[in-house]
Structure 1
């Protein structure tokens, strides 16, 4: 529409400009300039300008047509509308001014009312000011009192206990129950928290509370101490379900190490009396209260002394195991708690520590072992008396040694139960030493009585009776020792004293007899004795060293017998004469040529030696074995004879080699043209070493 508007306006203008009716050229030029300026301004105008766009939109909304009439009236219309608008605005402002006047009147009235109210308020403030100040002061005081009341209540609830709680804690008429332990725990906390009160400026309150809590704690521990003592008097250790309150009480009482130790001493004394009465009843059949028991007493059923001692030791071991198992429930199950409690008690009472500064560390197992050892003191005393009576009243060395081994076995068993530091082990060591002294004394008496029998060796060169008896006793002792040892360490050294008492003196007696016998009887007698002793010692590992020593000695005597048999072979066969003659002959040709000139190698002597050898060989082994017939070990007879025969064969090979060498030299020197040469040495001594080995094999 705007394009049409400008198109409508431009048409008349162009008509006016180029109209032939223009009056003059000057006017025409001026009009042309104005038109060009107008056109230029119109063309230079930007239609993107906001004001132009708004004006065009306004014209478009009014539906204005681009005509001469419209162009003449539009300005008037616009001015008229502007005037009308201004008039409406003036009218509206007049109404606004009227309203403002009424508002001003209202504000003036409100200001007056406010001024009156301020006057009234000032008067009221003057009248109520003192009352409000007093009320604020009272409210502040009320808050302070409430705060103090809360602090007092908190203090009383934390640092003070009620009369009922104090009665439960300190009165012996009240039982030791859960309420007692809860109250005790609370008082201990109060005593510990007094450090906070002592850190304030006024320490009087803290000191009073600390003193009161200390008195309450001491009274409570004294009550607990007396209650535990009463419980210990009636405590049944045979019951597997031991009262849990006793264990808890011991754990709590451990915070007072002195009371705890005193309680243990009391318990140990009570248990010592109980176990002593039980042991006496097991021995005799009646207690100290003259009450008969249903079980058969040990003294009536154990007629054998070894069984009597064994039954007593077995009863002591059984009682120890039962006592330890029962006390483990009291001490080991709460060992860590007791350790911590004792440590806390030492920290609270530093004067209880050692003078050397070392801390006392509670060891539950060690304390248990010590307590069980103390409980068994009475039993150990009675056991020692009865065992020493048995040992001293019998002169049987075997019985004394069996008792010593039995005591040693139980000593190792008790060491595993109670530790190596137990006092009970000292008792077992004493009893074992007493039994061994009795054993050695009895053995020495027996050896002294046997020495008178050491006259001559038996005719059959068998071990003498005293050695057989000693070996029989040694076998019994070795079996007893083998069944009693419990550890592998130092077994052999443990049996050496027994060998020194039961074997060495009798072997020495046999050695004295051996020295008075001729060959080969002395070596045969020695081997027979040693073999008998070795047979007894061989089954046991703890006598292996002594058995090995005997093997060496037997080998030495066997070597002597081999030498004897070798001499028998050489002298009986006549070979010794030839060997002695050849002892000076060397392997040189000159020396070998002198053999036929030797006296033993003369024809008559050599033929006689050959005949003697032939007579000897058929029964040589039988005759030689007959020399050792009293040797009990047949295999050894065969081995010795065969070894001697082997050496004889070697000697014969030497003689044979010399004879052959001499014959070779003599035959080479003789004239080969001689028709009847002299017989050689080999011809006069025809036996070969192969034949000898076959005959002596």
Structure 2
């Protein structure tokens, strides 16, 4: 330091000698210094003279050194080194203060570390105690959660399977009145009873059995209350305003699970309605109910009108009963006890044992039982006291029409339909009996056919009666399925026996008079049958086949008459006689041919008039012409056969001169 202050700078070459380092340190840093110096030198050499930093350094150097020579440079160097040593000494002093402070900080850190260790020890001790407390609290919390869960289950169980005592009293008290709270409580009891099935299938079997037994007793008590209340209400139930009987509807719906109690209530309702409807029917018959109402009994002199008015009243009463019962028995969705909300709020439908709508038709039918008995007595009296077929058939049409109507309304297996069907059968038997009695009276004094072979008077009477029945048949409103049997009965009883009677009469007449007589009778029957389109379609062929059969017989008889009158039968008989064993040349002689030809010439001019005289009593002229023409055609065919036989005969050239007529001449002469 003194050497630096004397102002004599150290030469640059003596730097390493003035501050020797350890040999080992020098050896280690030789390469580093060499590389550092080379880097410094390269950096200085690479620095541009125009660099601003270099300019500042050079400017400062110029201000410090007046003359740039070796002494000045050494002086500057020594001065710089002195300043550097001074600054380093100051740094060391400062670091001493820092070291003192760092020592103080270290003491503080050691004290803090000791305090921290003590805290850690205390925390470890506390942590052990807290863990034990936490474990105990977790056990307590778990127990509490179990208790809360059991409490919620118990609360849910009580809400699900118990009913307040006040509500139970509502369904088990005396049956004075059934309000909406009663039905709501009953729904609740039914839900609990149904939900007990869940308990029976779980571990709570005992609780399920006990609760189910209790709910069963409550349900039985409620059903008994509903039954007693409903029995009283149904005795005085009004059908004038059926839509207001919603409590009766709900009570009936309740009893669908007790069929015996429900049937007893329905019987009570039926008895009440039987009395009411019987009184209404009596009032309608006698006119006792309303002063301006015309009594039905006033029309007793007109059986068809009388029976029709009674049937119309029954029909009106039946429709009214059906509408009223449907309004009572068909519950709306808000009234049905089977629509029970579950615990989740979803509506679940519990199936019922019976459907009230199935009782509507039987109950309506049963309600008319007493009125039906009075109607049956009156109708049977009307049927038995009349023997006019047309009148009886009119009654039968009315009964048949209403029978089909009642069958559509209440079904086939009902008392109303059975009664109407029985009366229709009685009317049918009475009608058949009357028609048969009329025919038997004709059979007992059956007249002989008239000389003009016209249909007998009894057939005209029968056809007039048949026409009246057909008019009633056409005007009736019976179903298509019954029309076939109805018309078959009319035909079988009102026409067919009389046609058979005419056949009996015809047996006493010779041919062709018997066939002409039957054709005349059948034509009258066919004209009558044409009045009904149904008869024309289904029964006309029977009479037409019979007419064709008799016409064929008439044609055959007229044809035989032509053969006999013309003498042609003799030639045909001789030509076909092979039983004698003689040759035809011996049988067909000249005399036979001459006589036959002479007889033929006499026959031809009067053939048509003779044929018409044979059919003079045939009423249908068009048929008469057809028969004559057919018979003449057959005669011409036979003549053609005879001429062909003569032409093939061995003596044809000799015999043909005795029978000169040709088939063309015969056709022209017969016209």
Q: Shorter-chain-normalised TM-score: which range?
A: 0.7 to 0.9
Residues 1:360 and 1:393: Cα distance change in structure 2 (over 3 Å) = farther
Matched residue, 2:271: 269
Map 1:158-177 onto structure 2 (within 5 A). Answer: 159-162=161-164, 164-172=166-174, 175-177=177-179
* 2:539 matches 1:552: no
SS in 2 for 1:457: coil
> Is 1:382 paired with 2:374?
yes
The correspondence for 1:255, drawn from 254, 257, 281, is 257
CA distance in 1, matches of 2:291, 2:315: 20
Please give the secondary structure, in 1, of the residue aligned with 2:506. helix
Match of 1:282 in 2: 284
What is the CA–CA distance in structure 2 between the aligned matches of 1:336 and 1:411, rounded to whole Å? Answer: 38
**Structure 1, 185-194 or 376-385: larger mean CA deviation:** 185-194
Q: Greater shift after overlay, 444-453 or 92-101?
A: 92-101
Task: Give 1:297's match in structure 2, choosing from 282, 291, 295.
Answer: 295
Contact 1:332 1:365 in 2 (8 A): yes
| 1:375 Cα deviation after fit | 1.5
Please report the RMSD computed on the Cα atoms of aligned residues, expressed in angstroms. 5.0
SS in 1 for 2:480: coil
1:591-635 CA distance string (max 9 Å, x none): 998898432224xx366245414xx33x43233123212122222
Q: Structure 1 residue 179: deviation in Å? A: 2.8
Whole-Å Cα distance in 1 between the matches of residues 56 and 615 of structure 2? 170
Which residue of structure 2 aligns with residue 634 of structure 1? 621
Provide the C-alpha distance between the structure 1 equivalents of 2:612 and 2:337, rounded to a whole number of angstroms: 81
Which residue in the other structure is 2:515 paired with?
523
Q: Deviations over 1:251-306 (max 9, x none)?
A: 233233332222222112211222222222222223xxxx5654111111242122
1:358-409 deviation digits (Å, cap 9, x = unpaired): x996466643222222122212222221111112222334433443343233
The change in CA–CA distance for 1:221 and 1:458 in structure 2 (over 3 A counts) is same
Preserved contact between residue 236 and residue 272 of structure 2 (Cα < 8 Å): no
Residue 87 (1) aligns with residue 93 (2): yes
* Correspondence for 1:692: 666
- Pick closer, same or farther for the CA change 1:599–1:85 going to 2, 3 Å: farther
Summarize the Cα distance change of 1:375–1:75 in structure 2 as closer, same or farther, 3 Å threshold: farther
- Size of the aligned set, in residue pairs, is 596
Matches of 1:301 and 1:208 in 2, distance apart?
Answer: 69
Aligned to 2:484: 492
Offset of residue 456 of structure 1 = 1.0
Query: Which shows bigger deviation, 628-637 or 182-191?
Result: 182-191
Do the aligned residues in 2 keep the contact of 1:251 with 1:334 (CA within 8 Å)? Answer: no
Indicate how the Cα distance of structure 1 residues 46 and 651 shifts in structure 2: closer, same or farther if over 3 A, else same: farther
Q: Write the mapping of 1:526-541 to structure 2, written as runs, cut at 5 A.
A: 526-538=518-530, 539-541=532-534
1 CA distance for matches of 2:193 and 2:258? 15
Q: 2:561 aligned with 1:568, yes or no?
A: yes
| Corresponding residue of 2:494 | 502
Contact 2:559 2:632 in 1 (8 A): yes
Summarize the alignment of residues 188-587 of structure 1 with structure 2, pairs less than 5 Å apart.
188-193=190-195, 210=212, 212-239=214-241, 241-286=243-288, 294-332=292-330, 362=354, 366-484=358-476, 486-489=478-481, 491-538=483-530, 539-541=532-534, 544-583=537-576
Is 2:609 aligned against 1:622? yes
Deviation of 1:217 after TM superposition, in Å, equals 3.2
Q: Distance in 2 between matches of 1:445 and 1:368?
A: 45
CA offset at residue 170 of structure 1? Answer: 4.0
What are the Cα deviations for residues 514-572 of structure 1, in whole angstroms up to 9, with x where unaligned?
Answer: 01001221001111122222333342425755432222221111011111222233333
Instruction: Confirm or deny: 8 A CA contact 1:236 1:242 kept in the other structure.
Output: no
* Stretch moving more, 219-228 or 415-424: 219-228
- Runs of at least 5 residues in structure 1 that lack an aligned partner in the other structure: 1-11, 14-33, 48-52, 54-59, 126-135, 342-358, 586-590, 668-679
2:252 is paired with a residue whose SS is helix
Q: Deviations over 1:118-177 (max 9, x none)?
A: 9xxx9xx9xxxxxxxxxx999999999999987777666555444553454444576433
Deviation at 1:582, TM superposition (A): 4.4
Aligned to 1:187: 189
2:598 aligned residue:
608
Q: Distance in 2 between matches of 1:148 and 1:597?
A: 138
Give the superposition deviation at 1:206.
6.3
CA contact (8 A) 1:574 1:612 kept: no
SS class of match (1:518):
coil
- Contact in 2 for aligned 1:247/1:334 (Cα 8 Å): no
Counterpart secondary structure, 1:439: helix
1:583 deviates by 4.2
Match of 1:355 in 2: none
Residue ranges of structure 2 left out of the alignment (5+ in a row): 1-11, 14-26, 41-45, 47-52, 62-67, 130-137, 340-350
Indicate if the aligned counterparts of 2:167 and 2:185 stay in contact, CA closer than 8 A: yes
Q: Return the offset for 1:84.
A: 4.3
Q: Is the 8 A contact 1:240 1:326 kept in 2?
A: yes
Which is worse superposed, 483-492 or 365-374?
A: 483-492
Partner of 1:56: none
Contact 1:335 1:364 in 2 (8 A): no
The answer to whether residue 630 in structure 2 is matched with residue 643 in structure 1 is yes
Task: Report the more deviating stretch, 236-245 or 553-562.
Answer: 236-245
Q: TM-score, normalised by structure 2?
A: 0.73
Give the superposition deviation at 1:480.
3.3
Q: So what's the TM-score if we normalise by structure 1?
A: 0.71
Contact 2:361 2:410 in 1 (8 A): yes
Cα distance in 2 for partners of 1:336, 1:575 equals: 101
Find the aligned partners of 1:630 and 1:148 in 2 and give their Cα distance: 115
C-alpha distance 519-379 of structure 1, shift in aligned 2 (>3 A): same
CA distance in 1, matches of 2:157, 2:589: 137
- Take 1:537 and 1:474, find their aligned partners in 2: how far apart are those partners? 9
Does the C-alpha gap of structure 1 residues 330 and 61 become closer, same or farther in structure 2, counting only changes over 3 Å? farther
